[in-house]
Structure 1
């Protein structure tokens, strides 16, 4: 794997699970509302705005944690939705985020972004292992 490929993989291993969690309301209720769990909205915001992306200005993460312009556009949309939910959470509690009127928008855009990111990652993985167009391993035998 190239150095660039390794960099993007190292970032995406953090970003994709967080985006997937944002698309999964049962996970949010079972994990984020459990005070003993590590993952919380604080973790989400640090991952998507500080540590592995900048959902306010995702363009600079193209080729770092985002693979395509579509991912950039969806990440910007997700950032806007998360900021709208934050505006409705005056005490910054996970329960307030989940109860905000903006939260269904967060879940919807996160679902679309998760789908796009996973599809893009699977396409890259298929290319690495040599899966052909029909979804079958490429025949590397000499003829």
Structure 2
């Protein structure tokens, strides 16, 4: 695996799980609202805005953590949905975010992005497998 693909894979091991969590309301209630767990919405915001992406302006992450222009556009939509909810929530607790009127738009945007990202990752995995098979069976 070349260096660029390895970097993308490593970044996506952080991005994809938080996108999946944003797309899964039962997970959010069971995990983020449980004070005994370490994962919460603050972690999600750090991954999406500070550590591995800039959800408001994800263009510069094309080729790093985001594979396609479609992923960039969907990440931007997710960032806009999260920003809209942040404006609705006065105390910024996880419970308030989950109750915010705009939260269903966050879940929906995350679901669309998750489906595309996972599909691209599975395609990448299949391509790697096929390349290995070709290499191993070449004379």
- TM-score band (shorter)? over 0.9
Instruction: Give deviations 1:69-88, integer Å, cap 9, x for gaps.
Output: 00000000000000111111
Larger relative helix fraction: 2
- Contact 1:88–1:96 at 8 Å: present in 2 too? no
Shift of 1:142: 6.0
Flag structure 2 segments of 5+ consecutive residues without an equivalent: none
TM-score if structure 2 supplies the norm length? Answer: 0.94
Find the aligned partners of 1:10 and 1:139 in 2 and give their Cα distance.
24
Aligned-residue CA RMSD (Å): 1.6
What are the ranges of 5 or more consecutive residues in structure 1 without an aligned counterpart? 132-136
1:99 aligns with 2:96: no
* Greater length-normalized contact order (CA 8 Å, ≥ 6 residues apart): 2
Against the structure 1 CA distance between its residues 93 and 142, is the aligned structure 2 distance closer, same or farther, given a 3 Å change threshold? closer
Distance 1:15 1:93 in 2: 22
Residue equivalent to 2:60:
60
Q: Extract structure 1 runs of 4+ deviating beyond 3 A.
A: 137-143
Q: Find the counterpart in structure 2 of residue 109 from structure 1.
A: 109
Figure out how many residues of one structure are paired with residues of the other and give that number.
Answer: 138
Contact 1:86 1:92 in 2 (8 A): yes
Distance 1:31 1:74, change over 3 A: same
The match for 2:79 is: 79
